[in-house]
Structure formats: C-alpha cells, structure tokens
C-alpha cells in the first residue's frame, strides 16, 4: 500500500477530513490551471501547514520569495492579523497578473504587496527599506539561487523568525554528490549554509503526497 497512488489518496483523505472547503483557495488553484501556470503550487496540506506555522509564530510581517499564482500567498495572508503585511517577490509578469487577480478575489490584496523583479535585486531593496525585518519567510523560487536567497533572508529576518525552504528532497536527488543539475546544486548549497551558519537552527522533513517525494526545511533564526 506504499505506492505513489496511495500517497495521493492519503493526502486527499486528509484534505477532505481536516480542511474546511474554502472557495477562495479552490478558485485560486483553478485560476492558476486555467492560466497555464506551471503546476507547482504547494499542495493544500502544505498550504495549510504554512498557515498554521505562521499562526503559531504569530507572524505580523511575512516575506515570500516566489509568488507563482499566489496560492501559497493566500494561505499565509490568511494567517496575518488585521494590520499584518506580506511581501511576495516574483519576476514573471504573467504570474504577477494572475496572483493579483487571485488576491483581489480573496479581499486580501490590501495586506499583500507583490514586488516585481528578480528576487536578488528586490531582496537588496528590502534590506534598505524594511529595516525592522520579517518574522516569517517562505523560500520557494528558482533553486539555483536558493543559497543567495537564504543568506539574504537571514539578514532580513528578525530574531526568532521562522524560515521555510521548499522542495529540498527532489525525489531523493539531494544525495547526488556528483550532480551537474543546477537545481540540485543550489539545494545542496542551501543545506550546507543552513548547517554552517550559527544564526539559524534547522531541520528537514521528507514528505510524500500528490506532488510525489519531496520535503522542506524549517529553521529558526537566532541572532
């Protein structure tokens, strides 16, 4: 019973049993599919996990690196208090258009600012303008640049901030020391930074489900 079909069915069971039907989130997923965006959104269970972690943290200011169509953005924005803010970084104009439409339908657009441009550049801008820092950061963008994103995220994080990194297992390919795949090389460097930087205490969780075999890291910043 431990095949991939079973993984998907179990995830669907948990989604059905533990998630109230939320039309805005379902609508965002449909919109992303109809707009031919890459089918790489977080799953509903992982989206709910982001929501719960942000709630547990009491996050008031969230940074997301990689918006896509805004599905994960909506999940995290729902966890914010009334005056909370979420900044999401995205370089693809089509993705931004879809994300803004999805956020407008949820009435969360006033809490969210999508910043257009390469994340390397926009993170540098945030270092200049957001001196108070972020207390929850989700990194889910182009994997070759993940080491740069992590270094800058640690700089932008408040003391005690939570940093989540997605897609770190990559069907087990993270173990390949001889890889030439830039995505795997980026993730291996990402993990090495987490291991070496004393300012962040981290672990990794392997996952299976409708998106196959993958996982995420979770770290707490201690400055």
171 Cα distance to chain centroid: 18
Report the C-alpha gap between 182 and 187 in whole angstroms: 9
Identify the pLDDT of residue 2: 59
In tens digits, the chain (223 residues) has pLDDT values of: 457 889 999 999 999 999 987 888 999 999 999 999 999 999 999 999 999 999 999 999 999 999 999 999 999 999 999 999 999 999 999 999 999 999 999 989 999 999 999 999 999 999 998 878 999 999 999 999 999 999 999 999 999 999 999 999 999 999 999 999 999 999 999 999 999 999 999 999 999 998 899 999 999 999 8
CA distances from 135 to 54, 68, 100 (A): 9, 22, 23
Q: How many domains does the chain have?
A: 1
With contact defined as beta carbons under 8 Å apart, do 38 and 69 qualify?
no
Identify the pLDDT of residue 117: 97
Identify the pLDDT of residue 201: 98
Beta strand pairing call for 157-166 and 212-221: antiparallel
CATH of the domain at 122: 3.40.50.150
Give the structural domain span for 107. Answer: 4-221
């Amino acid at each position: 019973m431990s095949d991939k079909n079973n993984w998907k069915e179990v995830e669907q069971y948990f989604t059905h049993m533990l998630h109230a039907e939320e039309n805005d989130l379902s609508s965002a997923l449909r919109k992303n599919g109809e707009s031919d965006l890459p089918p790489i959104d977080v799953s509903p269970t992982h989206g709910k996990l982001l929501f719960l972690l942000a709630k547990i943290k009491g996050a008031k200011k969230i940074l997301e690196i990689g918006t896509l169509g805004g599905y994960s953005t909506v999940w995290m924005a729902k966890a914010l208090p009334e005056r909370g803010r979420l900044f999401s970084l995205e370089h693809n104009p089509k993705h931004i258009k879809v994300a803004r439409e999805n956020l407008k339908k949820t009435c969360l657009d006033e809490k969210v600012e999508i910043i257009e441009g390469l994340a390397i550049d926009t993170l540098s801008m945030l270092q200049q303008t957001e001196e108070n820092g972020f207390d929850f950061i989700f990194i889910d963008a182009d994997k070759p640049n993940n080491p740069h994103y992590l270094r800058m995220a640690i700089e932008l994080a408040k003391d005690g901030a939570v940093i989540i990194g997605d897609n770190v297992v990559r069907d087990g390919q993270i173990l390949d020391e001889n890889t030439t795949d830039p995505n795997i090389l980026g993730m291996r460097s990402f993990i090495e930074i987490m291991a070496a930087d004393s300012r962040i205490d981290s672990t990794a969780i392997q996952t299976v489900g409708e998106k196959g075999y993958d996982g995420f890291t979770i770290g707490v910043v201690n400055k």
